[in-house]
Chains A and B, each alone.
Chain A
Amino acid sequence: MSWLQRNLDFVLGLMREHLALALIPVLLGLVISIPLGWVASRNRYSRAALITITGVLYTIPSLALIVILPVLLGTQILDPINVVVALTIYTVALLVRSVADALAAVPKASVAAATAMGYRPLRRFLAVELPLSVPVVVAGLRVAAVSNTSLVTVGALVGVGGLGQLFTEGFQRDIPPEIITGIVLVMVLALLIDGLLLLVGRVLTPWDRVGTGAGRTS
């Protein structure tokens, strides 16, 4: 505890960096996954292609990706953009499937009814299909966010890893409290983000938790 008290400002700075490195890719990944997931939900060919490609992307080792990206993007090896791009790729790999499954599970009758009421396709997507996908998409989003929060630490090996730097530095200088602080804070962050997303999901979908028994008597 005394190590943490002496280095509080340093740790808080790393925590801010960690949050940004974990959550910016979640947002970017979501924005990219919605149109891709929509394409994948259209027919089984586009689905097979997109699920395969994103599945392969997810198998690339994270350290390798972070090291290769500067070559592909022309960025500096220490540039945080490398970590953001790498984690965005993983987020997309996880979310495309969630979005595709969620859209495919929207009741056909509701979509047909929306069309018959006079919704044009884009407005129908935003007003009917997307809101009905929220429960499944949020579930995918929680997995991606927690996974990102822990993956950020890998970035420490190239010098941009948020709280992961507490691991590398703690090992190099042999300070066990620094390593333990890092582990605990990463876990706490992951749990907080997961809980927050759960809460946001619930607020967005009051209709998803209504009892199906009430009022069914007549």
Chain B
Amino acid sequence: MIEFRDVTKRFADGTVAVDHLNLVADAGKITVFVGPSGCGKTTSLRMVNRMIDPTSGTIIVNDTDVMKTNPAKLRRGIGYVIQQAGLFPHRTVLDNIATVPLLLGWPKAKARARAAELMELVGLSAEMARRYPAQLSGGQQQRVGVARALAADPPVLLMDEPFSAVDPVVRANLQDELLRLQSELGKTILFVTHDIDEAIKLGDKVAVLRTGGILAQYDEPGTLLAHPADEFVEGFVGRDRGYRGLGFLSADGLPIGELATVPLGTPSATAREIIGDGWAIVVDTDQRPQGWVRVGQLADGPVTADSLTAGGSLYDTEAGSLRGALDAALSSPSGLGVAVDADGAVIGSVSAEDVLAVLDDARQAEIGVS
């Protein structure tokens, strides 16, 4: 757990970077600090490991006041992932990762063995161990940065815009990897970003800060999207928040309708009977959807993969968010979203009307409660 108690940071030139911040980052969760430049998010992060000392107030990390701890010792117990990775160009990947264990006095062989373990954990192949950072791609460098921060297994991890310098596709991969790692490791993570989408994707809780270091709102991402505290947060959260907010609403209670399925290779006469006058989804032998078919499209002979209409997104019932269900329905040529199970097999259909009905029920329930 990391606790900010009435923390203020005023720099020598008089600028107030952080203004009376009170906040508890829960143990084992990802807490994201997000806001425009000058909102004090990086300053707040750097006060946790005493890269910057607060002007007033107290920061508690796992029951200890950081100001009463030796800075170098404190930092060896807190993982830190910096913008642009900040790797040591003169050390190999393996030795970069082994940095903190070696500082802690581990024998070299043990530190390197641990570093090799971490390379595997963050998805770096063993052959990269002897390479230098300049020989890696931006995404690989960030993985090394994360591995280095985790090397001594610190309970707390500070991440300062770690994925801001890589392209969007790689960034999305790194975010997914971080969530996977976190589900295994359960670290207390403070994550700084200026990207609200990243904050909402990664954060168990998100702190929105405004210029001048004032905490505007501290909530779970779904709440942030549904109930922004004021105009600043609403503006910062951005467009389509109603739609994006669906991603945090459970699809429990969403009915899964029937869906006509036609296996590949079905003779056209049989297919015609199944389809009737509407659409049907064509599936392979594992029941995975291949595309849509309509009566008018049917040629003579068996149904083949190249005569189909491409489908939309699939609604994964395991993930079970309303956003996935609505998107599947809206992007489908037939107007019916295809619902699949964890293995990707078709189990039925969802409709936009049903999603809106579930939303309406949730709204009624909320009014009833409050």
Contact = CB atoms under 8 A, between A and B. Distances in A.
A132 B89 CA distance: 8
Interface stretch (B128-136, B251-259, B300-308, B327-335): B128-136
Contact of A117 (B83, B89, B100, B136): B100
A119 B103 contact: yes
A71 interface: no
A210 interface: yes
A218 B134 CA distance: 14
A109 B135 contact: no
A110 B88 contact: yes
B87 A214 contact: no
A109 B128 contact: no
A212 interface: yes
A207 B134 contact: yes
B76 A117 contact: yes
Interface residues of A, number: 27
B274 interface: no
> Chain B interface residue count: which class?
20 to 34
Interface in B42-75: 49, 51, 72-75
A210 B82 contact: no
Contacts of B239: none
A218 B83 contact: no
B293 to A, nearest CB: 38
A115 B140 CA distance: 22
B135 A210 contact: yes
B80 A116 contact: yes
B51 A115 contact: yes
Interface string B145-184: 0001000000000100000000000000000000000000
A118 B73 contact: yes
B85 A109 contact: yes
Given A207-B91, A215-B136, A218-B137, 15 more contacts: A109-B85, A109-B86, A110-B86, A110-B88, A113-B88, A116-B75, A116-B158, A118-B72, A118-B75, A119-B72, A131-B90, A207-B89, A212-B134, A216-B137, A217-B137
Contacts, number: 83
B351 interface: no
Contact of B75 (A115, A128, A131, A210): A115
A211 B131 CA distance: 10
A210 B134 contact: yes
Contacts of A214: 131, 135
A128 B83 CA distance: 18
A216 B136 CA distance: 6
A114 B75 CA distance: 10
Name the residue among A113, A114, A119, A218 with the largest chain B CB count within 10 angstroms. A113
Interface in A87-119: 107, 109-110, 112-119
Nearest to B92: A207
A215 B103 contact: no
Contacts of A112: 51, 82, 86
B257 to A, nearest CB: 41
A113 B162 CA distance: 12
A120 interface: yes
A218 B85 CA distance: 16
B213 interface: no
B263 interface: no
A107 B88 CA distance: 9
Contacts of B88: 110, 113-114, 128, 132
